[in-house]
Each structure stands twice: as structure tokens, then as C-alpha cells.
Amino acid sequence: MIHFDTDYMEGAHPEVMRRLVETNLEQTPGYGCDDYTARAKDLIREACGQPQAAVQFLVGGTQTNATVIDALLARHEGVLGAESAHINVHEAGAIEATGHKVLTLPQYDGKVKAADVEAYIRNFYRDETYEHMVAPGMLYISHPTELGTLYTLHELEDLSRVCREANIPLYMDGARLGYGLAAEGTDVTLKDIARLCDVFYIGGTKVGALFGEAVVAARPERLPHFFSLVKQHGALLAKGRLLGIQFGALFTDGLYQRIGAHAVRLALKLKQAFVEKGYKFHLDSLTNQQFVCLPNETIDRLMREATFELWGPRGETETVVRFVTSWATREEDVDKLIALL
């Protein structure tokens, strides 16, 4: 059986694992006050081109979203995001549990449009009763989105401009950032993101680490008392160095970039095979998630030898199916899947 369900089916990249094993019995202070963590923060600052940035490591994505959003919003504010945003759909109400509303925007293949953000804010303050409503206090985007799509540099610049004009922070969920940065044809770099977003996180869990997400804020004053908030959210890892060691490995010798590129290359190889076989796509993704429309009988046949996610019916006889590659996907498995098509 070959698996294309998701990008967190394996442990960590062998190089990450090697570093964890190598340092296993060393003794360091807890909570990220160790040299491995300090070094990893420096590597990330350098990769982001933001030597003054605040970097804080957390364990998982939902936790990171809830903690950052809670830190960025005042009590009367909510977070703008696409209807399909992970925070709106798949985080069990973690944002609302901190007291904040998710204010939804139309989504276009998982993305939001700067014009919609602008209009939302403009209409909000034009409404005479706006003080009775939840104020838009920040914008949440994901890159790649939950649907594998990417913002262009131009789109990102527009979102950033709109947010800065409205004086609200722009926050990017980068759970799969490594696959976005390595996407074919993307014109968005890590430095662009660090420059255009007020806060964002670099996903480790889905891109080579056992777990871990690196929150980056170019201007540290955006996240005052963040350490205490991380603790309050139960997101502070006692053995914080585990995060430092992992991100240290990922940001040494371009590992994060390389493994992102590996996953994307295999996803596009698969995509190409689907194209050649004449299958239609649910949407056009250049990253490690591919959404294809398959006849139900093809699906039945494939499921005998491969696992993947059923995304939803498309008419009577077809279903949208998601195939995901990762840093750990073996080319032979992709070839096997292609042979089955």
C-alpha cells in the first residue's frame, strides 16, 4: 500500500532526527533558553533578511494560530480570514475559545482578495452602528492555502498595503510554507514574506520536523509579552531545545528549501501524469497538494493499492480527490501510483 493522505505521516527528516539523537543526552536549560534555540533563531532571522526579528518556536499549528491571534487582537476585535480558512473550519473553535470572532471573507481557491479586505474595512467603518459590531483587527491568510494555492508577490504586496493602510497586522499561516517557497513559478520568497507580513510562521510539522512551528515578527514590538502568552496557551515546550535543534537542522545548508523542492517536484510529476491521462483538476495547484477529479470507479480501483483523501463529490460519477506528497515521499511510490492511473 502506498500513501498520499497527508504530509504528516512520517516522523522527521533523517538529518533532523540525527541531530536530535546526537544531542539527546546533553544538558541544557529549558523553555528555549539554550544555545541550540538561540542559533536556530539566528539562522531564521538570516534566512528572512530580518536581523532584528523576534522568533519564537511553538509546537503545532492550531496552537500557534490561537496564540498569535490572541496576542495581536484587542478584546473588541476579530480576525479577518477566508471562509475556508483553517482557523474558521478545522480548529475546533480555538480562536473563539480565546474570545475572538472569525470574520469571514469570500474565498477564491482558498485565497482572499485585497479588494474584499479593503471593502470589508471600509464598509465596517461606514456603518453607523460599527461600535456594536466586531472590529476587523487583523488579517489571517495561509500560504500555501488549505487548497495548495499560492499568492503572487503582487497579491501579497496588495494585501500588505491594504492592511498597513488600515493599520491592522497581516498574519500568515505557513504550515506548509516550505512547499510554497519551492513551488514552480512562485515569485514569493521568504524575505518577501518577512517584509510584507507583520507576523507569520514557518511550518516545521509538515516540512521535515517531528513537530514545531517558528513564529517570526520582523518588529518584535508586535508581539509584546509573547513568551508569557505562549505559556498561558500551554504552548511552551519544557525541552524547548528540541525545537531549536530541529529548526537549526532545517535551516542549515538549505535543507528546508531542498526538502520542499523534493515534495513539489514529485507532486508536479504526479500532476503531469494526471494531465497526460486526461483527468481534470479541481483547481490548479503548484505545491505538494493536488486536487484531481476522478471517476468513482477509478477511485475504487486505486484504493486497493493506495490511500488518499476523498475531498467531496463532483456530480454523480466523479469525486474530487486529494493527493499529497511531502519531504518523505519516495519517487518509487509516485511512479507506482502513476502506473496505476
141 vs 17, 145, 223, CA distance in Å?
31, 8, 18
Cβ proximity of 268 and 288 under 8 Å: no
What DSSP character marks residue 221? G
CA 315 to chain centre: 30
Show the cell assigned to 310.
476523498
Closest approach, Cβ 76 to its own copies, in A, equals 4
Closest approach, Cβ 188 to its own copies, in A, equals 25
Distance, in Å, from the CA atom of 80 to the CA atom of 206, rounded to the nearest integer, reads 25
Q: Among residues 71 and 163, whose Cβ is nearest to its own copies?
A: 71
Distance, in Å, from the CA atom of 143 to the CA atom of 175, rounded to the nearest integer, reads 8
Q: Please name the amino acid found at residue 137.
A: G
Q: Among residues 135 and 299, whose Cβ is nearest to its own copies?
A: 135
Helix axes 331-340, 255-277, angle to 10 degrees: 10
Q: Among residues 98 and 189, whose Cβ is nearest to its own copies?
A: 98
Q: Among residues 101 and 258, whose Cβ is nearest to its own copies?
A: 101
Cβ proximity of 171 and 200 under 8 Å: yes
Cβ proximity of 204 and 247 under 8 Å: yes
Judged by DSSP in three states, 241 sits in helix
Closest approach, Cβ 24 to its own copies, in A, equals 4
Phi, psi of 4 (to 5 degrees): -130, 30
Cβ proximity of 72 and 229 under 8 Å: no
Closest approach, Cβ 264 to its own copies, in A, equals 19
Tell me which residue of 98, 49, 105 sits closest to 69, measured CA to CA: 98
Q: Among residues 263 and 328, whose Cβ is nearest to its own copies?
A: 328
Distance, in Å, from the CA atom of 222 to the CA atom of 71, rounded to the nearest integer, reads 9
Closest approach, Cβ 239 to its own copies, in A, equals 5
Q: Among residues 51 and 225, whose Cβ is nearest to its own copies?
A: 225
Closest approach, Cβ 253 to its own copies, in A, equals 20
Closest approach, Cβ 250 to its own copies, in A, equals 15
Closest approach, Cβ 284 to its own copies, in A, equals 24
Cβ neighbours of residue 290 closer than 8 Å, sequence gap 6 or more: 148, 267, 270, 271, 274, 281, 322, 323, 324
Q: Among residues 133 and 275, whose Cβ is nearest to its own copies?
A: 133
Q: Among residues 16 and 48, whose Cβ is nearest to its own copies?
A: 16
